[in-house]
Structure 1
Amino acid sequence: MRWVTYDAGAGQRTGILDGETVRGLAAGTTLLDLLERDQLGEAGDGARRDPAEVVALQDVRLLAPLPRPPSVRDSLGFLDHLRGCYKALGRPTDLPDAWFQTPAYYFANVTSIVGPHDDVPVAPGCAMFDFELEVGAVIGRGGRDLRADEAERHIVGYTLFNDWSARDVQMRDMAQGIGMGKSKDSASTLGPALVTVDELEDHRRDGRLALSLSATLNGEELASGSLDAMDWTFADMVAFASRGTDVVPGDVICSGTVPGGCLLEHVDTPDVASARWLRPGDVVSLRGEGLGETRQTVVAGTPIVPLRSGY
């Protein structure tokens, strides 16, 4: 099933995609509620048999399928993405051993989730705004201290994820030494749908999902790749995320950026600040085989409100 959260003019609703229509559930039902109650399959069958409403897809605004997930962990599953960033910044591309020991992640800002076609404002004070081509795995069944050989069974489905990034702010974040913070606060895209695992089984190869992924900027393809090229699998990432803590229904565990799937990796000048970064009017689109497409326009952000330090 392909689950969406949408607004047809009367407020937020949840439903399933059926061709060019949306078969909606009763008002007040959310995708997160269904995941928490383990009723996704039952509710989907009900939407097919007896929907509360049927509306044309072209007449609705698609929101993020999970507008406010319990958490979003963005992992670094493609190590070649990190090597590409290091190369662009003039750093050695040999990675320290730590990157091969555990699948690193940071927590994204769940209050800044945006839908697949929403405008995205440039982060306040940012002159080096960027996007990132990723996929998010959504937890359907909670767990703790999961083994890698069982963790993937806790995933209910997948969705595209765009990790919008303020690169100049990120450089300051990293210099402060406590990880990425404000540079990742402004926006994260989920959507257009939560595609359940059964819909994607035909794409499974050697235990991995071989989904073709691509990103375009103003209609020009910037990157392409396949989800099965990850160095760390989703099973690895879910197991690691559950170490010593609970992963819960609705949590999103993200793949990390497909190599080449951001502007930073395409910087070809020692003066990084003068490279091509996103600006108002740019249109960014992510596509995923079986997952659909996001298409978003970058717009001007709000002016920065300085601190006492002047920053």
Structure 2
Amino acid sequence: MRWVTYRSAAAGGERVGLVEDGQIHGLRAPDRLLDLLGDDGERMAGAAEEARRDPLEVVDLDEAVLRAPVPVPPSIRDFMAFEAHVRNARKSMDADLDPEWYHDPVFYFTNPAAVLGSGDDVPISPGCTWFDYELELGVVVGRGGADLDPAEAEEHIAGYFIFCDWSARDLQLKEMRQGLGPAKGKDGASTLGPMLVTPDELAPHRKGNGFDLQAGVTVNGRTYTKTTLGEQYWSFGEMLAYASRGTRLVPGDVIGSGTVGTGCILELSVLHGIEEYPWLRPGDEVVLSVELLGDLRARIVEGAPLRPLR
């Protein structure tokens, strides 16, 4: 199944819809995807039958205004599951990969209030001149749980989507020198979508801890990133299990894989030079694509002016 949250003309607000054959079959109720979560998938399956049998409306997917599948998640944890990304990013700081990275799948919390949907403009963070995209795979937690093991944690995934972690690299570098962060370097925007795809659709493409899916990014029509999602060191089951250790995951929580190898300008600039892969600027059109999951589109715009603290 494929689900979207979209702006409905018929309902006059946001609605949840089932996507089939390029069309959205809008649900009459509920109006939040979050309300279809919390069990082993029975609510979602029942809602799909209702959407097919008696839709509120049928809208072409290409003409719909999409929101993030879960527009305001309870929390967002972003991991670093791809070894190639970590190695390449460390080169920018003349550092090697820390052996501790192989012991636990580390993450940071980012801002649920800054979630955007496909097609939304993305403002550059105030004071930033090194603005970057990060191509990731994301999941939504379907069932809550605490102290899970990796096998059962995998069963708690409601679906997958593209996750773009927009990054102010110069701000990130400054704050992480103080031993904290990333914080403001990642605080401005995360784009999720364009749709939520249930695990059964990705299962045939499983490769080790990841998925054998083609992925890429273009900026103003030029290919920047071209890669696959197969070389994932930490599985989502392991990441969810670690996230649930000593605490509780709740339905709607978002987990990001971290950036795929060469999935950001930081890496590309280290490998090929910043002149070849310059930082994002206002007016840039960015498209992130993953096989089966669709295209995530964004236009970069000028952000708010920097207001001095002192």
Which TM-score band applies after superposition, normalised by the shorter structure? over 0.9
- Alignment partner of 1:52 out of 34, 37, 56: 56
Q: Which residue of 2 aligns with 1:4?
A: 4
Relative to structure 1, is the Cα distance of residues 195 and 216 closer, same or farther in structure 2, using a 3 angstrom cutoff?
Answer: same
Task: State the Cα distance separating 1:273 from its structure 2 match.
Answer: 11
Separation of aligned partners in 2, 1:196 and 1:268: 35
Task: State the Cα distance separating 1:27 from its structure 2 match.
Answer: 5.3
Separation of aligned partners in 2, 1:269 and 1:213: 19
Aligned counterparts, 1:147-186, within 5 A: 147-186=149-188
Task: State the Cα distance separating 1:65 from its structure 2 match.
Answer: 0.7
Separation of aligned partners in 2, 1:165 and 1:14: 29
Q: Deviations over 1:173-216 (max 9, x none)?
A: 20121221111110000000000111222212356422221111
Q: Deviations over 1:13-32 (max 9, x none)?
A: 11111222210011552101
Relative to structure 1, is the Cα distance of residues 88 and 43 closer, same or farther in structure 2, using a 3 angstrom cutoff?
Answer: same
TM-score normalised to the size of structure 2?
A: 0.93
Q: Secondary structure at the match of 1:229?
A: coil
**In the alignment, is residue 253 of structure 1 matched against residue 281 of structure 2?**
no
Query: Which of 56-65 and 127-136 deviates more?
Result: 56-65
Separation of aligned partners in 1, 2:196 and 2:273: 40
Task: State the Cα distance separating 1:270 from its structure 2 match.
Answer: 12
Gaps of 5+ in 2: none
Task: State the Cα distance separating 1:7 from its structure 2 match.
Answer: 0.6
Separation of aligned partners in 2, 1:65 and 1:305: 33
- Aligned AA for 1:120? V
Aligned counterparts, 1:281-296, within 5 A: 281-296=283-298
Identity of aligned residues (%): 49
Aligned structure 1 segments of 4 or more residues deviating by more than 3 angstroms: 205-208, 268-275
Aligned counterparts, 1:1-311, within 5 A: 1-9=1-9, 10-26=12-28, 29-36=31-38, 39-89=43-93, 91-92=94-95, 94-206=96-208, 208-268=210-270, 276-308=278-310
Separation of aligned partners in 1, 2:207 and 2:179: 39
Separation of aligned partners in 1, 2:277 and 2:219: 15
Q: Secondary structure at the match of 1:221?
A: strand
Task: State the Cα distance separating 1:3 from its structure 2 match.
Answer: 0.5
TM-score normalised to the size of structure 1?
A: 0.93
The root-mean-square deviation of aligned C-alpha atoms, in Å, is 2.1
- Aligned AA for 1:74? D
Separation of aligned partners in 1, 2:63 and 2:268: 37
